[in-house]
Structure 1
């Protein structure tokens, strides 16, 4: 009898137990359905999965303004292009190209939040590694930490050169008890360097999976960070090793692809020139795996692949196109006379596609027609660019279309994705660092070391590839589409200032539209001079879009800290950048 409880007693006991449990908060703590906690993720499979998500944030995913392509922040602000399209479409970019930044602009907040999302994902991997299960070996741990710290350094580098110093948060910060108190008074470069130095020392030289960062990509990025701080000797040491010994993921030695245009072709992704790139894939069942960076940046409406193309953004500038003018020796006009009357490229500005037009017959660098879509020149393997019919609003954008990251007709349905609202999603990888960029930065470092002839050698390597006749844009007859004249620097370099000018201009030509120009101008200390010269010239062509625009020194080098972040955390925690 003593082991038995009556029915009434059982109900009473159940009631007492229920009262007891209802007084404890743990009774209310129910695991979230469909969500894994950190304990569950601490396996090798779980950690690798989270690491993939850190890579996945490189293009910003749904937040295009956070992408490492920097087509707005690096190329439009640097004068490679204007916003293009129509004034009313994505009007939040209008003040960016005019250097009239507002602290409340959504695109600036998007850049901030998208980069910190990348930081948060990297920090989660680091925390998981601290409690990793037995199936994570010592070699796994070293590789995963190297990749993670590389990616975290990337996100902080983007924050640094975008906003200057921002709050530094690593895996040691308790997100639940005080992240709001992290102030932005800590210099970021030492933190970025430490992560990249670890990655450079610990990552393998090659990886088994395309897109994974390796030792050499970490070295290239570390050297780049050194260049931004004018640590030229440190950068040169790494560049020497990388150029001599660096290998791609598949073990092939780094080099320049034979044809300039093949560095931007989906069929040629992860080639020997690709040091570190955002990976993309089309027709996988999810358009989220494709490249979303340039879905807006296609010839408008009746452009390649028929109606439905969007939206005429990212129109190359007059100033950029003129920069490809060459001398009789095939060298660039380093004195700036490419914008002078008689040297400017002939355009169809103000003409309809039905109006007669003959393309410019003067000498040009062949990279022009791989970088700028212009009337009368074949647009990849589609048709000759028809001019105004492919421009949404010529008075606002000018006569040119972006071309470098356009997809080929041969790619349709395979390396181009038709499963979304626009056919602009592709399998084209976006290079964050390519070998031509490495060679030209190495040339800069050599100049500062006094090795001007080595710098000339590196620049000539880049120009020699551009001069390959097999890569020239051809008409159906087999003739060159324009008067392509490009030569090497044959006279020894003996003057540092002249050598610097040559290397800097080569970066402008070689890397146009790849998000570098604005940041180059700022680190060289020439942003005020060069950007205001660009705005003064370009505003005469596009007065509605750029008339009265001006770069203000000691202000416009950096974006403002988003006002919503200051409102949330307090102005004693986040100190606004000067001038805002």
Structure 2
């Protein structure tokens, strides 16, 4: 079923991207955006860049996974774990991320501009596909603003304008929130195909945006809408291997999936990030592995202090000597022994899982109320119980107790749980950044002994953008240190 879905969707994605990217003028508006099928094909093109091998589920994800407190980069990614900014090897990688984000935005803008002009498409379908395009545009800008700061804001209104000034962070977030609110209103409750955005994906994205912006009451309420909907639940786990039902390469979907980038075992159509975690000797990836990230069981405090009874620990990590001693550990969370190539792991890439929403709710509710609440504690405990093989919704012996925590210690507890729950999902660095520079530096210093340079907080604006976008001033618009 999963393979059939992707064989069909890949044809649309690849053919549409070829037209839009390589010869956009060959697509005549009056003959292409006229039917629901044609508009859907155009929307599919905006997904493709997010799934690209150099995108967030691949090489760009590998960048931020080298910035965590629980692991270190190796090889060309080792310098990233020094937290002193990018070198000449890694700058082209983030440059390509910029290119992919803006290509996805451009493809979304084409839908937003042209779908309403279609002659043989219903208004309901126009609203649905424009909402989907706006969701994708918002998500691209969300990655851009968190990693580059203020960026040029390109919308359907400036589609043919190459020179666009750098917007402020607030201006970018204004567009993101507006787009997500429209997506929340007009996207369907259930996806027509597995992997398409729904109103629940929009709500989850809004919750994370508010969370990032320190709008905790809004983040709490939006996450609570998802929780109270009854649409999602945590997959039951009794032994570590049961997490395969969440992350395994053959899973089509699960009750905790809110929005994932869907992958399949085809060259350039699988999760590339999985390749960075493995070593050929483990045979956990069919194509071998780059072993570009690792941790040390004796020196990394996050791993060392993690309770061995937490099933996530043994599921996520395997002991393997990569030439750095017998204590080196590799993350095996996303494994596919049958992946035919390095870009063909069948594991889907989670963007929003129900556990993520529960943990967002727990922290946001505590911060909004200036102290932990019973509902916040229950949301946290559900994730924690599942991690120990317990029923997520029944009280257990591993439960945290409300009386044991202040606002500060509860927030730190949730942050720790988020760190365990979302490993290798390209979330941890951005999670730490939202807490502010001082807190981020404190956490990284405690875990790695490294000082985070201010230069490391944002990636450089690509030189190509500065050279060809005359609305930018290379001396004023480049990020600190580049």
Q: Smaller-chain TM-score range?
A: 0.7 to 0.9
Of 211, 228, 231, 1:227 maps to 211
Q: Aligned equivalents of 2:291 and 2:303: distance in 1?
A: 22
What is the deviation of 1:195? 0.2
What is the deviation of 1:118? 1.1
The within-5 A match list for 1:2-401 is: 35-44=26-35, 45-59=37-51, 61-62=52-53, 64-67=54-57, 71-84=61-74, 87=75, 91=76, 93-102=77-86, 105-133=91-119, 135-175=120-160, 178-185=161-168, 187-245=171-229, 253-259=231-237, 261=243, 262-282=245-265, 286-300=266-280, 302-304=281-283, 309-318=288-297, 322-323=301-302, 338=305, 363-374=308-319, 387-388=320-321, 391=322, 393-394=323-324, 399-401=328-330
Structure 1 spans left out of the alignment, 5+ residues: 1-31, 247-252, 326-337, 339-344, 346-361, 375-386, 472-484, 537-548
SS in 1 for 2:398: coil
Please state if 1:523 is matched with 2:452. Answer: no
In structure 1, the partner of 2:345 is 426
In structure 1, the partner of 2:469 is 569
SS in 2 for 1:162: helix
Q: Aligned equivalents of 1:141 and 1:432: distance in 2?
A: 25
**CA deviations over 1:542-575 (Å, ceiling 9, x no partner):** xxxxxxx53124x322212123322333552771
Contact 1:69/1:432, CA 8 A, preserved across alignment: no
Q: Aligned equivalents of 1:439 and 1:510: distance in 2?
A: 11
Q: Aligned equivalents of 2:316 and 2:105: distance in 1?
A: 33
What is the deviation of 1:449? 2.7
What is the deviation of 1:181? 3.7
In structure 1, the partner of 2:358 is 439
**CA deviations over 1:246-295 (Å, ceiling 9, x no partner):** 5xxxxxx201001261211123332011111000122xxx5233223323
Contact 2:272/2:344, CA 8 A, preserved across alignment: yes
SS in 2 for 1:79: coil
In structure 2, the partner of 1:379 is none
Higher mean alpha-carbon deviation, 206-215 vs 71-80, is at 71-80
In structure 2, the partner of 1:454 is 375
SS in 2 for 1:268: coil
Larger radius of gyration: 1
Q: 1:280 to 1:486 in 2, by over 3 A?
A: farther
SS in 2 for 1:367: helix
In structure 1, the partner of 2:9 is none
**CA deviations over 1:129-175 (Å, ceiling 9, x no partner):** 13212x21011011101111000000000001010110000011142
Contact 2:278/2:285, CA 8 A, preserved across alignment: no
Contact 1:280/1:291, CA 8 A, preserved across alignment: yes
TM-score normalised per structure 2? 0.84
Aligned residues: 443
SS in 2 for 1:551: coil
Q: Aligned equivalents of 1:144 and 1:307: distance in 2?
A: 37
Q: 1:308 to 1:434 in 2, by over 3 A?
A: closer
SS in 2 for 1:224: helix
Contact 2:84/2:453, CA 8 A, preserved across alignment: no
Higher mean alpha-carbon deviation, 222-231 vs 258-267, is at 258-267
SS in 1 for 2:478: coil
What is the deviation of 1:102? 4.0
Q: Aligned equivalents of 2:140 and 2:101: distance in 1?
A: 6
SS in 2 for 1:425: coil
Q: 1:223 to 1:436 in 2, by over 3 A?
A: same
In structure 2, the partner of 1:578 is 480
Q: Aligned equivalents of 2:358 and 2:301: distance in 1?
A: 24
Q: Aligned equivalents of 1:221 and 1:403: distance in 2?
A: 27
Contact 1:184/1:575, CA 8 A, preserved across alignment: no
In structure 2, the partner of 1:335 is none
TM-score normalised per structure 1? 0.70
Please state if 1:463 is matched with 2:455. Answer: no
In structure 2, the partner of 1:10 is none
Q: Aligned equivalents of 1:513 and 1:398: distance in 2?
A: 19
What is the deviation of 1:97? 2.6
**CA deviations over 1:81-135 (Å, ceiling 9, x no partner):** 2223xx3xxx2x34333223248521121121111111111111112213212x2
What is the deviation of 1:179? 2.0
Q: 1:81 to 1:40 in 2, by over 3 A?
A: farther
Q: Aligned equivalents of 1:428 and 1:185: distance in 2?
A: 36
What is the deviation of 1:493? 4.7
Q: Which has the higher helix share?
A: 2
